[in-house]
Amino acid sequence: MCGIVGYIGYRQSTDVLLHGLSKLEYRGYDSAGLAVYHQGSITVRKFKGRLQTLTQDIANSPIEATVGIGHTRWATHGEPSDANSHPHANHHATIAVVHNGIIENYLELREMLMKEGYRFTSQTDSEVLAHLLDKLYEGNLVVAVRKMLKIIKGSYALAILCEKEPDKIVGVRKNSPLIVGLGESENFLASDIPAILNYTRNVYLMENDEIVICTQDNVTILDENDLEKQPDIFKVNWDAQDAEKGGYEHFMLKEIHEQPESIRKTMLSRIFEEKDYVVLDDVKITKEDLDRFQKVYIVACGTAYHAGLVGKYLIEKYARIPVECDIASEFRYRNPLVDKCTLCIVISQSGETADSLAALELAKAQSARVLAVTNVQGSSIARAAHDVIYTWAGPEIAVASTKAYTTQLLCMYALSMHFGLLTQHLSKQQYAALRDELFDLPRLVQQVIATDEGLHALAKRRKNAEDIYFIGRGLDYYVSLEGSLKLKEISYIHSEAAAAGELKHGPIALIDQGTLVIALLTQDELFNKTLSNIKEVKSRGAYVVAFCKENAEIIRKEVDELFVIPKAADDVAPVLAVICLQLLSYYFACERGCDVDKPRNLAKSVTVE
């Protein structure tokens, strides 16, 4: 999604802005631009395409400046083009604005401004902001910004530069993230922390409706009533290089390899080897609360939704509370039955996904208790929820989610076991057995990752596959959904996942001679059932690649290829199976020459609907 960087200080601002924007590339974008104050006026440079085009332009024709704003745009209103790129400026380019989010009433504002003689050069909603500020400006940028906030509707993070006040950059946010980086004789604005980590670790996470005024030596935060507020500075405790590739060819591969560690970290100080209870510091839900909840909704998008499906299975099994798992963009528009007897669990890696945030707000407005499972401290979803579990996966840069998903699963285990103990549907012995299984996971995950040549070889042999189907039952079905999503998003191979028992109700019509079917059989009780489905597709000519646990190799003769994952309890096996599918997707994408970390049309953080 779009990225913002703002800088004021003593360095060459184009360097800082370009560096910051490069750290936000992972969010996905289709154009990039910047505006700097130089010799009494604002210069804007912006281009469709990769950041490299902008970097090259600046290299060809450098601009001396120590203040500026930059942007990477992911098109929503208007195609990707030079004109639609940000920054947008008023007619004489005395005010420049970069914007993330959507101005919902932009059409009516555009019409009003055009009637007053303002000329528009782009199709974007964001351009109205530059002209509106021009109209409202009477010698004080902050006053004009405050007036504008009373007029515009929608979601936004903005950074603004004004020719008449070149000693400052001004920022504001509503439902779109914006952070302030505080340095020595320099200050920064950004939509995400990696953009500024090279320069400072002191960060302020802005609240909705606040205005920030950054000068070279000062940061002033005004609350919604324009009262000055003492910022609560947060120290970033992870390294810039945590967000770098660290020797791997792609971020995705690095992040797959980080999973033994991220899983360990997620358990740390929550599940203890010798103790028979879970500690979830930021979850204050009591047994009385659980008795009151008549229903739990788990709401999320994409991969996080797939983690939610596993969560539903686990909570229903261990705590015996009915759970519905919903896609956030569906949930928010279907008038769900939510009230004070509802617990709504929102899962989101970024904590900024627009649909998930809106679903959360809806549940809150209808008096539900809201629990967030997220990877980003201080994200909008974390802040809006009553209770939070952080996944502690570290920054996830590759667009395709891997370590965030498995740590979301770990949070689902911890939460469901906690609920199970509170409701007393999970005995201490059952708890202890599960806990021991979880503690063994990092070692088993390491084992899976270390034996990936077979997966690579399979991808090499079948790289020209046009369709790949995944089948499984129970938890294996949920993992199939995730495996299929991973494969299609990075390799662009058409893929679907089917509950194996559903095959004969439709999907089996697609099976033909040589069709590649990936079957998961990690659930002991469902093993024979899935085996029957394998026979069904085999008899229609499918080429079946199966994944099963140790000691289940009897199916070797029933399938074309077999991958054996380490022995683990059925309930934790999804973590091992999904890592095989992540690796398989990764190798398929590499073999097909795809841009693994930045698949086409996708963004890391989907902050618009």
Residue nearest ligand F6R, CB atom distance:
302
Q: Where on the phi/psi map is residue 558: left (φ > 0), alpha (ψ -120 to 50), or beta?
A: alpha
Binding flag, residue 582, ligand F6R (CB under 6 A):
no
Can you tell me whether residue 117 is helix, strand or coil?
Answer: coil
Binding flag, residue 585, ligand F6R (CB under 6 A):
no
- Among 178, 382, 606, 608, indicate the residue that binds ligand F6R (CB under 6 A): 606
Compute the least distance from the CB of residue 356 to ligand F6R, in Å: 5
Binding flag, residue 309, ligand F6R (CB under 6 A):
no
Catalytic annotation present for 604: yes
Nearer to ligand F6R, 549 or 598 (CB): 598
- Could you say which DSSP state residue 341 is in? T
Compute the least distance from the CB of residue 473 to ligand F6R, in Å: 23
Binding flag, residue 596, ligand F6R (CB under 6 A):
no
Nearer to ligand F6R, 186 or 396 (CB): 396
Instruction: Report how far residue 182's alpha carbon sits from residue 166's, in angstroms, rounded to the nearest whole number.
Output: 18
Say which residues have a Cβ less than 8 Å from residue 604's Cβ, sequence separation at least 6. Answer: 1, 26, 27, 28, 350, 396, 397, 399
Compute the least distance from the CB of residue 346 to ligand F6R, in Å: 9
- Residues numbered 344 to 383 that lie near ligand F6R (CB under 6 A) are 348-350, 353, 356
Instruction: Report how far residue 499's alpha carbon sits from residue 530's, in angstroms, rounded to the nearest whole number.
Output: 9
Can you tell me whether residue 430 is helix, strand or coil?
Answer: helix
String marking each residue 468-507 x if it binds ligand F6R according to CB under 6 A: -----------------x---x------------------
Nearer to ligand F6R, 113 or 193 (CB): 193
Say which residues have a Cβ less than 8 Å from residue 445's Cβ, sequence separation at least 6. Answer: 259, 260, 263, 406, 575, 576, 579
Instruction: Report how far residue 311's alpha carbon sits from residue 416's, in angstroms, rounded to the nearest whole number.
Output: 7
Nearer to ligand F6R, 205 or 214 (CB): 205
Instruction: Report how far residue 133's alpha carbon sits from residue 144's, in angstroms, rounded to the nearest whole number.
Output: 6
Nearer to ligand F6R, 69 or 490 (CB): 490
Smallest CA-to-CA distance from 151 within 170, 132, 125, 130 is with 132
Catalytic annotation present for 594: no
In angstroms, what CA-CA distances link 28 with 51, 77, 350, 429, 604?
11, 16, 13, 47, 6
Binding flag, residue 259, ligand F6R (CB under 6 A):
no
Compute the least distance from the CB of residue 374 to ligand F6R, in Å: 8
C-beta of residue 40 within 8 angstroms of C-beta of residue 217: no
Give me 26's structure tokens: 């992972």
Nearer to ligand F6R, 375 or 523 (CB): 375
Binding flag, residue 194, ligand F6R (CB under 6 A):
no
Binding flag, residue 400, ligand F6R (CB under 6 A):
yes
Say which residues have a Cβ less than 8 Å from residue 221's Cβ, sequence separation at least 6. Answer: 180, 204, 206, 210, 211, 212, 228, 229, 230, 231
The stretch among 241-249, 290-298, 302-310, 337-345 that binds ligand F6R (CB under 6 A) is 302-310
Q: Report the chain's C-alpha Rg in angstroms.
A: 26
Compute the least distance from the CB of residue 354 to ligand F6R, in Å: 9
- Among 285, 304, 517, 559, indicate the residue that binds ligand F6R (CB under 6 A): 304
User: Helices (DSSP H) in 519-593: which residue ranges?
Assistant: 527-538, 573-591
C-beta of residue 576 within 8 angstroms of C-beta of residue 548: no
Binding flag, residue 407, ligand F6R (CB under 6 A):
no
Which candidate in 46, 403, 488, 604 is catalytic? 604
Q: Which run of H or E residues covers position 344? A: strand 342-348
Strand order in the sheet with 369-374: 323-327, 295-300, 342-348, 369-374, 387-390
Instruction: Report how far residue 534's alpha carbon sits from residue 17's, in angstroms, rounded to the nearest whole number.
Output: 54
- Among 301, 358, 497, 590, indicate the residue that binds ligand F6R (CB under 6 A): 301
Nearer to ligand F6R, 118 or 587 (CB): 587
Compute the least distance from the CB of residue 493 to ligand F6R, in Å: 15
Q: Where on the phi/psi map is residue 110: left (φ > 0), alpha (ψ -120 to 50), or beta?
A: alpha
Give me 138's structure tokens: 């009477």
C-beta of residue 28 within 8 angstroms of C-beta of residue 602: yes
String marking each residue 27-56 x if it binds ligand F6R according to CB under 6 A: ------------------------------
Binding flag, residue 175, ligand F6R (CB under 6 A):
no
Binding flag, residue 444, ligand F6R (CB under 6 A):
no
Nearer to ligand F6R, 27 or 462 (CB): 27
- Among 401, 495, 530, 607, indicate the residue that binds ligand F6R (CB under 6 A): 401
In angstroms, what CA-CA distances link 318 with 199, 233, 342, 361?
47, 40, 18, 28
- Residues numbered 120 to 139 that lie near ligand F6R (CB under 6 A) are none
Nearer to ligand F6R, 120 or 492 (CB): 492
Nearer to ligand F6R, 302 or 472 (CB): 302
Can you tell me whether residue 270 is helix, strand or coil?
Answer: coil
The stretch among 42-50, 73-81, 342-350, 434-442 that binds ligand F6R (CB under 6 A) is 342-350
Which candidate in 2, 344, 548, 590 is catalytic? 2
The stretch among 124-132, 138-146, 167-175, 298-306 that binds ligand F6R (CB under 6 A) is 298-306
C-beta of residue 538 within 8 angstroms of C-beta of residue 558: yes
Compute the least distance from the CB of residue 357 to ligand F6R, in Å: 9
Binding flag, residue 303, ligand F6R (CB under 6 A):
yes
HSE-CB at 403 with a 13 A cutoff on CA atoms is 28
Say which residues have a Cβ less than 8 Å from residue 160's Cβ, sequence separation at least 6. Answer: 69, 95, 96, 97, 133, 141, 145, 169, 170, 171, 172
Nearer to ligand F6R, 399 or 526 (CB): 399
- Could you say which DSSP state residue 206 is in? P
Compute the least distance from the CB of residue 94 to ligand F6R, in Å: 37
Compute the least distance from the CB of residue 351 to ligand F6R, in Å: 7
The residues binding ligand F6R (CB under 6 A) are: 301-304, 348-350, 353, 356, 400-401, 485, 489, 605-606
**Active-site amino acid positions:** 2, 604
